[in-house]
Amino acid sequence: MLTFISWTIPSVQLTHTLDQSCLGLVFLSTEFMLMFNGNGFIRLICDMELQEYILSALENKTVIFVTHQVEFLPAADLILVLKEGSIIQAGKYDDLLKAGTDFKALVSAHHEAIEAMDIPNHSSEDSEEHLSLEESVMTSKKSICSVNDVDSLTKEMQEGPSSSDQKTNKEKKKAKRSRKKQLVQEEERVRGRVSMKVYLSYMAAAYKGSLIPLIIIAQALFQFLQIASNWWMAWANPQTEGDKPKVTPMNLLLVYMALAFGSSLFIFVRAVLVATFGLGAAQKLFLKMLRCVFHAPMYFFDSTPAGRILNRVSVDQSVVDLDIPFRLGGFAATTIQLIGIVGVMTEVTWQVLLLVIPMAIACLWMQKYYMASSRELVRIVSIQKSPIINLFGESIAGASTIRGFGQEKRFMKRNLYLLDCFARPFFYSLAAIEWLCLRMELLSTCVFSFCMLLLVSFPHGSIDPSMAGLAVTYGLNLNARLSRWILSFCKLENKIISIERIYQYSQIPSEAPAVIEDSRPSSLWPENGTIEIVDLKVRYKENLPLVLHGVSCIFPGGKNIGIVGRTGSGKSTLIQALFRLIEPAEGSIHIDNINILHIGLHDLRSHLSIIPQDPTLFEGTIRGNLDPLEEHSDKDIWEALDKSQLGEIIRDKGQKLDTPVIENGDNWSVGQRQLVSLGRALLKQSKILVLDEATASVDTATDNLIQKIIRTEFKACTVLTIAHRIPTVIDSDQVLVLSDGRVAEFDTPLRLLEDKSSMFLKLVSEYSSRSSGIPEF
C-alpha cells in the first residue's frame, strides 16, 4: 500500500498538532512511504537527531520523499532531479554534484543562503544554546515512539487496543470532543413553535406582502362561484318529473357556463399570483442569505462546516422554491373552501353546528398534540442532513488520501451511520403524520354519519330535497376538506421550518462595511506605509482565549520587516488582523496615522497586497487572475510575469495570457500559484506588501531570485515577510520575533544576532545547524 503524507492546515494554531500526529504515520505497517513536501512535517523533522529516529524507523521501507529542500538529500540512496516533467538527472548525492548542471545549481543556491547568514561566534553561550536545542529535540522525541517499539506499536494497530488502551482512547475522544465544541459548535436548533416573525418575514419578502390580499380575494371569488354554480344547478333543476322547469335549458346552461368560466378565471389568477409571490419571496430570501454568508466574519466559517451552509442553500432553499408557495396557497384555498362548506351545511341544516364546534376543538387539540412532536422531528431531520453533505464533500475532496491510507471502509461505515441518523427521525416524522391522518379520517367519518342521520330523521317535506342533496354533497366534501385543512396547516408549519433556518442565516452578524462614506482615505493613501500597532489583542471568537496579547510595535514606512517565531506564535494572526479578517478585541492598528478600524474594508484591503502561503487561483485565465479588474495592458502583464519568473512558462503555452485555469488552480503547482500572486502584486504596486511564507513551495534558488526581485521592485514599499526560512528575513531592516502572541524581540537583525540571549539567534542557529550537514563541493 502506498502511503501519501499531505494535508491542508485549516488553522495556523493547529499546525504543530498536525505535524506531531503525522509522525505517527512512520510506524504504519506499509511497505512504501511517499512524503510530499509537507512544510510543517519538514519543520518538525529538521533536527538531525530526530531525523536519525525517523530514518531508523523507516530503514526497512521504501521511502519516496518529494521536496525542494536540499538539506535532506545527502541521506537519500537515489536522487531524481525533475525539470519540466522529465527526469534530467539521477544518481547519488556526490555523483550528481560532480556532474554539475541543475542539481549543483540548486545546492549552490542553498549554500549561498547559508553563507549570507553571518552568525556571530558566541562561545560563552554555546552551552545554554545547546541545552535549549536538546530540550526542543527531547520534546519532539516524546511525540513519537522509540525505534525499538515500532514492532509492538504496529502489532497493536493491527490487533486492536487493549482494555486499558480503550479507556485511554475514550478519555482522548472525550477531550477531543470538548475541544471541538470550542470551535465547531453544534448546529443551532430553535425549539417550540415557529416564531410569527418567520411568517411575517416570508409574507413581506415579495412585494412587501401586497399579493397576499389579492390571493385571498381570488380564492374567495373562486369558492363563491363554485358554490353559486352548485346552488344554481340544485335550484334550477326540477325536483320531480312532473315539475315545470324554473328556467329554460339554454339559460340553465349559459348561467352555469358563465359561473364555471368565472371560477376557472379566478383560480388561474390565484395560481399566477401564488407563483409570482413564491418566486419573488424565494429570490429575496436567497439573496439576503447569500449576502449575509458572503459578508460573515471569518470565525463563522471556522466554526461552521461547509455541509451546513450547503444544506441551507440547497435543501432548505429548494423547499422555499418549490413547496412553500403552493402549500401556503393550498392552505388558504382549503380554509376558504372549508368556510364555504360549513356555510352551506349550516344554511340547510343549522343543527350541524352542534357537532362542528366540538369537532373543530378536537381537531385543534390533535393538531397541537401532533405538531409538538412533528415540528421537532422536522428540525432534527434538517440538521441530520448537514453531516451527510459535509462528509460527501470531504470524501470527494480527499478521495486520493482516503484510498492511500486504506480508509474506504471507515468512511463507508461513517456514511452509513450518518444515513441511519437521518433515517430514524425521518421515519418517525412519516409515522407521526400517518397517526394524524388516521384520527382525522375517523373523526370526519363520525361527523358525516351524524349529518346523514340528522337529514333522514327530518319529517317529510320539512326540507327541500334538492337542498338536502346539496348538503349531502358538501358533507362528503367536508370529510376530505377538514382532514386536508388540518394536514395542510401541519405540513405548512413543517415546511416553514426551512424558512426559519434560512432566516437564521439571514441574521448572521456581518463584518464591517466595505465603504464608510464619512471616513474614506485619499486615493494616494498610504503614502508612507508606516504601520503602528498599539496594544493589539486578538481572539478568533468571543468564547476563545486571546491569540495576541497586547502586541505593540511600529513598522517604519519603506522598510523590510521580517516576522519570525515558532509555530503558533501568532505570526499569521497578526497579518489577519492587519487585513481585518479578524477584528481586534482591544487595541488598534494605524497606517499613516489612520486607524484602520475607522475605514471600510474595501478601502483598506484594496490598498494592501499579499502573497499568501496557500494561494488560490480562480477559474478562468491567467490574465483574469493577474488583472481581474482589467486595469492593465498586456505589456504590463507580460512585464510582471517576466519579473515573477513565469514569463517563459506562459509563453510556451499555446494560449499565452488566455491559458486556462481550472477551479482552485489545480492545473498549476503551488509554487507557480505563488508566483502568480507575486505577479499580481507587481501589477498592483501597493505601498504595503505582505509575504506570508510566500516562497515556501519553491526551491532555494527561486526563493533567492524572488527575494532579489522584491528588494528591487518594492524597495520604496513597506514589506512584511513571514518565513520559516531564516535567510529570507536575515537581510530585513528589522525583525519582529513573536512568542506565544507577544513581542519577544524587535530590532535590526545585526543587533539581535549580537545578543547572545536573543531568541532570533537561537532560531538562526537551529536553521544553520540542520542545514550545515550538506557537504561542500
Burial environment of residue 695 by CB neighbours within 10 A (0 to 12, 13 to 18, 19 or more): buried
In sequence order, the 6+-apart residues with CB closer than 8 A to the CB of 359 are: 443, 447, 482
The pLDDT of residue 110: 63
Question: CA dihedral in degrees (422, 428, 429, 434; nearest 10)?
Answer: 150
Domain span(s) for CATH 1.20.1560.10 in the chain: 196-505
> Pick from 556, 682, 520, 541: which is nearest to 611 by CA?
682
Give the separation between CA 95 and CA 199, rounded to whole angstroms: 77
Give the separation between CA 552 and CA 531, rounded to whole angstroms: 11
Topology (CATH level 3) of domain 2-157: Rossmann fold (3.40.50)
Contact 2, 35 (CB under 8 A): no
* Mean pLDDT (10-residue bins), the chain, 777 residues: 35 42 52 62 48 64 76 78 80 78 70 56 45 43 42 44 52 51 69 85 87 90 86 73 73 88 91 92 92 88 86 91 88 84 71 70 85 90 91 88 87 94 93 87 77 71 64 65 80 88 89 89 89 92 86 92 88 91 92 93 91 84 89 90 87 87 84 85 90 72 76 88 79 90 91 88 77 51
**Kind and range of the H or E run holding 7:** none
Ordered strands of the 608-611 beta sheet? 608-611, 688-692, 718-722, 560-565, 734-739, 742-747
Contact 667, 660 (CB under 8 A): yes
Q: What is the CATH number of domain 518-771?
A: 3.40.50.300
The pLDDT of residue 57: 65
Give the separation between CA 273 and CA 214, rounded to whole angstroms: 8
How many Cα atoms within 13 Å fall on the side-chain side of residue 446? Answer: 13
Hunting for cell 472525550 — which residue is that?
A: 174
The pLDDT of residue 140: 42
Give the separation between CA 729 and CA 723, rounded to whole angstroms: 7
Burial environment of residue 255 by CB neighbours within 10 A (0 to 12, 13 to 18, 19 or more): middle
In sequence order, the 6+-apart residues with CB closer than 8 A to the CB of 606 are: none
Instruction: Say how many Å lie between the first and final Cα of the chain, rounded.
Output: 38
The pLDDT of residue 15: 43
Radius of gyration of the chain (CA): 37
The pLDDT of residue 144: 40
Question: CA dihedral in degrees (554, 557, 558, 564; nearest 10)?
Answer: 20
This prediction has a pTM of: 0.70
Cα three-residue angle 383-384-387, rounded to 5 degrees? 105
- Choose which CATH entry (3.40.50.720, 3.40.50.2300, 3.90.950.10, 1.20.1560.10) describes domain 196-505: 1.20.1560.10
